[in-house]
Amino acid sequence: MTESHTPKPLSVRDTPIPGFKVIDLPVHGDKRGWFKENWQREKMLELGLPDFGPVQNNISFNASPGVTRGIHAEPWDKYISVATGRVFGAWVDLRAGESFGATYWCEIDPSVAVYVPRGVGNAFQALEENTVYTYLVNDHWSAEAQREYTFLNLADETVAIPWPLGLDSGELSPRDLSHPRLESVTPMKQRKILVIGANGQLGRALRDKWTEREDVEFVGRDAVDLAHPEHLERVDWSTYSTIVNAAAYTAVDAAETPDGRAQAWTVNAAGPSRLARIAADHNLTLIHISTDYVFDGTQAIHTEDESFTPLGVYGQSKAAGDYAVSTIKKHYILRTSWVVGEGKNFVKTMSSLAERGIDPAVVDDQYGRLSFASEVARAIEHVLTVGAKYGVYNVSNSGDILSWWELAKRIFAYTGHDPHRVRPVTTESYHLGEAQVALRPTNSVLDLQKIQKTGFRPLDQMEMLKEYLHS
């Protein structure tokens, strides 16, 4: 490029290989030579490239036309470009899944780059002398990582790559010539989602939702207890892409005791802080579950950007965990209220009292909406599937704002009992004479507009309540 010209605009194109993208780069040239922004994070993220976090830059010099390398699928993402010369690049999806065997090829010169996801086989053939091929990767090479490589023979008849200079006369390594045909390739396994706290209400809902998925692993406190940092140290984080932290210390009143306070801060604050560091170090997405208890309940409705005003130890420890998680790039904090799932909860308690002929007194000065655990699980899957912008999202069911008393009356009615058996009482009266009672937020209503803008439609709480009670 020795003459002035108008460079093409920066753009990103999709291909038949999921996640594999071609980038057209503006190259500014004149009689002196040329200049380009080879990797410009802000602009490229805006056009849809993932924020893959490169940590190593590799360069391959190819002395003569016909030098051919590949096909190698590696356990990291790559951003490939050419500094000088031209190459014919070819890529084959070698990941386990429906797209296994999908192919794409194109010529790369200084005005073209490609983004290659983990597990996509990569190969190229130099088309000019002294071609310099360069690539960024988001993990450091190691002998251990190399054991995860998957290979395909350059001459495989099924993918039938049309090498411009052929393979007979070019420079190839004996190892590349010995790689297996597609039918004998062991696909690279997808990185998994790790669900921590898998035996709680949300964990069980995620088990039900993801029961058929092979790329999800569930662990309870026996395997990963956030109160024991050594549990986290023995996990091989290189096998995961996402952590879902469904674990928490939720004994709100017990958290006001000396022992409970220590446990709450260990699990709800220190635990998420350690997970955040792990996620940052391994470029993982961290999904963390928050609570309405980070607020004092004085606002009419709680938005995602409201300042924390927790009233008790439980809310304070959860707020600290939220702060820790929010410091990393790839995070989702899903804030919930009044969670109902499998296990002990308010709905089951009221239903049991109704059946046993007990007429309860229920507080009528705390307001909110239910968050069924299955609905929170659906929201988790949604933000991951649509690639929602990282950050905080309120998640609850939709519907009328009710007090606990009004909700209890509906539970009685939906189970065929007289709702007038439920007596209203103030929070102060309800807890009169009790020791170590935590203060509760008066209003727990969450603004749902932000997650709705991503395409998520929360289901009505009363419809789900009826279904829950009769399941």
User: Which residues are annotated as catalytic?
Assistant: 72, 135
- Rounded to the nearest 10 degrees, the angle between the axes of helix 346-355 and helix 461-469 is 50
Rounded to an integer, what distance in angstroms lies between the CA atom of residue 471 and that of residue 467? 6
C-beta separation of 64 from 171 below 8 A = yes
Rounded to an integer, what distance in angstroms lies between the CA atom of residue 267 and that of residue 273? 10
Rounded to an integer, what distance in angstroms lies between the CA atom of residue 337 and that of residue 445? 8
- Candidates 70, 72, 232; CA nearest to 145 is 72
Rounded to an integer, what distance in angstroms lies between the CA atom of residue 136 and that of residue 116? 10
Rounded to an integer, what distance in angstroms lies between the CA atom of residue 76 and that of residue 182? 21
- Candidates 458, 457, 446; CA nearest to 397 is 458
Residue that has been written with the tokens 């607020």 in this structure:
295
Q: Record the tokens describing residue 97, joined without a space.
A: 């899944």
Cα–Cα distance list, 464 to 150, 444, 445, 452 (Å): 46, 19, 18, 18
The residues facing 150 across adjacent strands are: 73
Give the chain's length: 471
Burial group, residue 109, by CB count within 10 angstroms (0-12, 13-18, 19+): middle
Burial group, residue 106, by CB count within 10 angstroms (0-12, 13-18, 19+): middle
